[in-house]
């Protein structure tokens, strides 16, 4: 796949290929595949861990596998004729964990998944895979230190491009004693080898809410320690409130979650914990001393929280450490800035995609950026223009779709009403009770949910949409299309939803917009 190495002394050899991608997650895979598709160009992915990345083994895929049984259990318990079949019986935790292992390719008795299937895909797509830690050592030049073994470093020179796709890493607050307590991160909680009896979760965002959902459904006593006054701070307030209410209430087969708003941990204490692999119990309880965070009027709690495990879900940061950015004149402390082509200005042949850019840390957005990036690299290699829209990943992309797979789900795209107004938009919102929609009410007894659109009154188009309720994720793509396409509300009026489906919410929302005078007077 690459040219044969040529010796440069005893410790380093030099190879050449057309495109080098640092990072083998979904963004890196897509960038490499698009850059060489339908051509004789060569690409090399440099990956120190597993091809497939965080998403495949420790994030998106395993978390959804862990969450879905709880969602099915919740739906069944709310359907007469089915409720009696499931009763109050809990989930079969061992079976749930075994199914997760089958999805991530983790062999029995192993802590690390097997990525051989992903490697076969890469090589089948004409992409070489090199195991090791890669860093820039010059323009379009990468040095790779082997992940294992005693072999020397290899230098790979890229004829066309180097793509940075190293993703992100969990951020650990500087709480005294916390690092020494060896807390779990998102990687551990998705890879857990057994369900802890009790868990303290630091954070109130997407990872924290999803983890609290599956842990409580699998039998853990969960306490969430949240600095702010709400969950899911990036969404419309009603979405976080619905998720918080559901977590606190618990339900058949699911334990109630204790949520401490306006609270922060200021110290952690735990007996000596031996080194262990992802998801392995620490073997000793953790004690967190907590105090009010002083966050607005959120109140707060003081005292101690003890648990078998503590999960830190306090955000992620771009993985730029050790990338050698300084070798090409970039600040090694910050994510590389990119233009609309995902190229790094001022450094010829250097691109960056996915979480490492700090733009939108979501797998689907990283893959979107990677598709653009790969197409740009291919076009430039072939001397073709890159002015068309598909060669531009909007740096200010506001229609970023996000789904939180709690029960109820929360899903949103575009701007919240507050952010739209802060941006100077004459924003007006309309909302409907999803429980009043026939298609939703048919799904389960006591269906609770809400949908909201944010409208730019001056242009008559949507700039944001939020849905909260069971299975609302399937409503989101239509909203994303409407926001990205800037479809006028008057035109959306003619998109007739099928009856009886939850999508009938779109008709009710547009009726609310008409009543508010947001559709053309005619």
Annotated binding site for NAD(+): 203-210, 315
Rg (alpha carbons) of the chain, rounded to whole number: 25
Residue/partner pairs of 396-399 with CB below 8 Å, 24 or more apart? 397/359, 397/360, 397/365, 398/463, 398/464, 398/483, 399/480, 399/483, 399/484
Say which residues have a Cβ less than 8 Å from residue 170's Cβ, sequence separation at least 6: 185, 186, 187, 312, 315, 316
Dihedrals phi, psi of 198, to nearest 5 degrees: -145, 145
DSSP state of 449: -
Query: Residue 47: which H helix or E strand, with range?
Result: strand 43-47
CB 392 within 8 A of CB 413: no
The 10 Å CB-count burial string (b at 16+, else e) for 130-145 is: bbbbbbbbeebbbbbe
| Residues of the binding site for FAD | 64, 134, 166-168, 355
| Residues of the binding site | 64, 134, 166-168, 203-210, 315, 355
In 3-state terms, what secondary structure has residue 206?
helix
Say which residues have a Cβ less than 8 Å from residue 466's Cβ, sequence separation at least 6: 235, 236, 238, 239, 410, 411, 412, 416, 451, 452
- Taking the C-alpha atoms of residue 454 and residue 421, their distance in angstroms, rounded to an integer, is 10
HSE at residue 417, side-chain half, CA atoms within 13 A, is: 15
Q: Among residues 141, 122, 117, 115, which one has the least CA distance to residue 32?
A: 122
């Amino acid at each position: 796949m690459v040219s044969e190495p040529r010796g440069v002394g005893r410790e380093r050899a030099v190879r050449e290929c057309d495109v080098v991608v640092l990072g083998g997650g979904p963004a890196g895979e897509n960038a490499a595949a698009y850059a060489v598709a339908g051509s004789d160009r060569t690409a090399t992915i440099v990956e120190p861990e597993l091809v497939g990345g965080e998403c495949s083994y420790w994030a998106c895929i395993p978390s959804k596998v862990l969450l879905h049984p709880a969602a099915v259990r919740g739906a069944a318990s709310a359907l007469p004729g089915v409720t009696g079949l499931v009763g109050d019986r809990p989930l079969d935790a061992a079976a749930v964990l075994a199914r997760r292992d089958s999805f991530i390719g983790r062999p029995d008795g192993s802590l690390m998944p097997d990525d051989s299937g992903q490697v076969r895909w890469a090589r089948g797509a004409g992409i070489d895979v090199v195991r090791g830690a890669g860093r820039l050592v010059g323009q379009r030049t990468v040095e790779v230190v082997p992940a294992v073994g005693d072999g020397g470093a290899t230098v790979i020179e890229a004829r066309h491009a180097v793509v940075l796709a190293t993703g992100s890493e969990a951020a650990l607050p500087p709480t005294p004693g916390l690092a020494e307590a060896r807390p779990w991160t998102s990687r551990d909680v998705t890879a857990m080898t057994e369900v802890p009896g009790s868990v303290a979760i630091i954070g109130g965002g997407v990872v924290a809410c999803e983890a609290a959902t599956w842990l409580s459904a699998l039998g853990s006593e969960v306490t969430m320690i949240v600095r702010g006054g709400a969950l899911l701070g990036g969404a419309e307030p009603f979405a976080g409130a619905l998720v918080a209410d559901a977590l606190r209430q618990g339900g058949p087969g699911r334990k109630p979650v204790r949520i401490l708003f306006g609270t922060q941990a200021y110290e952690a204490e735990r007996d000596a914990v031996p080194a262990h692999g992802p998801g392995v119990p620490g073997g000793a309880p953790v004690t967190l001393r907590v105090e009010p965070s002083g966050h607005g009027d959120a109140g707060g709690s003081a005292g101690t929280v003890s648990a078998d495990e503590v999960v830190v879900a306090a955000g992620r940061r771009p993985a730029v450490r050790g990338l050698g950015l300084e070798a090409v004149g970039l600040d090694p402390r910050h994510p590389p800035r990119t233009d609309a082509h995902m190229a790094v200005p001022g450094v010829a042949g250097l691109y960056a995609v996915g979480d490492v850019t700090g733009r939108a840390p979501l797998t689907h957005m990283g893959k979107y950026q990677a598709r653009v990036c790969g197409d740009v690299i291919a076009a430039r290699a072939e001397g073709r223009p890159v002015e068309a829209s598909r060669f531009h990943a909007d740096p200010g992309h506001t229609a970023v779709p996000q789904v939180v797979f709690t029960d109820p789900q929360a899903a949103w795209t575009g701007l919240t009403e507050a952010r739209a107004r802060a941006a100077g938009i004459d924003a007006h919102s309309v909302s409907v009770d999803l429980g009043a929609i026939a298609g939703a009410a048919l799904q389960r007894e006591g269906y609770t949910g809400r949908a909201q659109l944010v409208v730019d009154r001056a242009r008559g188009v949507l700039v944001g949409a939020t849905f909260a309720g069971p299975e609302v994720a399937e409503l989101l793509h239509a909203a994303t299309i409407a926001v990205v396409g800037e479809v006028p509300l008057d035109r959306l009026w003619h998109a007739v939803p099928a009856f009886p489906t939850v999508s009938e919410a779109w008709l009710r929302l547009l009726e609310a917009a008409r009543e508010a005078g947001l559709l053309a007077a005619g």
